[in-house]
Amino acid sequence: MADYRQNHHFHPIASEEIKEGEEVKPWRLPFWTEKPAWLIEKEKQEQQQELAKEQVLEQQDEPETFPLPTAEELENIRREAYNAGLEQGLIEGRQQGEQQGYEQGLQQGLEEGRQKGEQEGRQQGFATGEAEGLAQGQQQIQQACERLTRVNQHLQANVVERDQQLPDVLAGMISNLTEQLLGHELSVSESAISGFLQDALREIPAGEKNIQVYLSASDLTHLDKSGFDTEVLHFHSDPALQPGECRLQSSQTLVEYSLSDALSQQLEQFIPRLLKAASNSLVPDFDREPQFDPVAEPVVESEPEAASESEADSESEAGSESSSQPDTPNAE
């Protein structure tokens, strides 16, 4: 036999490369006539599998043998089947009876419930419709009352507003009438011009000499200088002054007097009293029935007071004119 040696196994294993406790198996060189070890192992496994399959087939081919039941066992089986059938029949019968009773009761209940529901629904619908009708009627009445209330409030507000505006209009008319009256008096009356000039001279300290008096051209034309000391008072015309205005100048004093300003001061004192009296007489009473002519009452009540105030003003002016006459000799 020739010596066979594999070329790739030319490195021997050294003893120091073997770990302690590791088993070293000898390796036998295979002959060229023998099968490899892995093939022999594979064939062995296939043979074992075939034997196992044959054993399984043999066991399946053998018929199973069962022992015959006895009479007692048959009686027990019959009794168990009877009891099971009885129980199942009871269950099925109960279910069928419950289903039939449920369907009959449902049908009867639906019919009776439909009749009763229709009757109750008719009664409830009548009651609901009646309540809604009453509510709608009440709402319409309430809306009509609210509209009437708003109309009444609007009318009362207009009446109150007109009554509140009346004193202002009346005061404006009185003021305008007074200004026109005084303007007319100044244009035609010498005593009126002398009166407001005397009022202006009262503002000059006593003992002043060489007083320059500036008047408008129209007032200077109508002024009667005979009642004034012409040695102390020197009259001049100033185109910048309006009728009823004058300016007095001395070495240490400057007095500017305007009849319209004095009138305005008097009106400022007079108009609040007039408005207060008018407001007391024009307080609306909403509890009483509305009057057809609420404007007539304040006019009647305010006229006597306005007349009394105008008379008082005329008396005060007359008193000032009369008091100005004794001052003339002192000025002279």
Domain CATH code at residue 245? 3.30.2320.30
Instruction: Answer whether residue 310 shows pLDDT above 60.
Output: no
Q: Look at residue 239 and tell me if it is in a domain.
A: yes
Burial 298-308 (b: 16+ CB within 10 A, else e): beeebeeebee
- Please check whether residue 216 lies inside any domain of the structure: yes
Total domains, the chain:
1
Residue 226 lies in a domain: yes
Would you state the pLDDT for residue 177?
Answer: 64
* Residue 48: inside a domain: no
For 3-17, what is each residue's pLDDT tens digit?
444 444 445 666 666
Please give the mean pLDDT across all residues of the chain.
Answer: 71
125-136 burial: b if 16+ Cβ within 10 Å, else e: eeeeeeeeeeee
pLDDT at 307 over 70: no
Q: Where are the alpha helices (DSSP H) in the chain?
A: 37-61, 71-188, 190-201, 217-222, 259-281, 296-331
User: Is residue 78 included in any domain, yes or no?
Assistant: no
pLDDT at 319: 43
Q: 30 lies in a domain?
A: no
Is residue 189 in a domain? Answer: yes
Burial of residue 93 (CB within 10 Å: 0-12, 13-18, 19+) is: exposed
Q: Residue 231: which pLDDT band, with cuts at 50, 70 and 90?
A: confident
Question: Domain limits at 278?
Answer: 167-284+300-331
**Which string of DSSP letters, residue by residue, matches 98-116?**
HHHHHHHHHHHHHHHHHHH
Least confident of 22-26, 148-152, 169-173, 313-317: 313-317
**What's the pTM value of the predicted model, to 2 decimals?**
0.30
Residue pair 246/214 in contact (Cβ under 8 Å)? The answer is: yes
Q: Which band of pLDDT confidence, cut at 50, 70 and 90, is reported for residue 281?
A: low
Q: What was the pLDDT predicted at 12? A: 60
Residue 268 in any domain: the answer is: yes
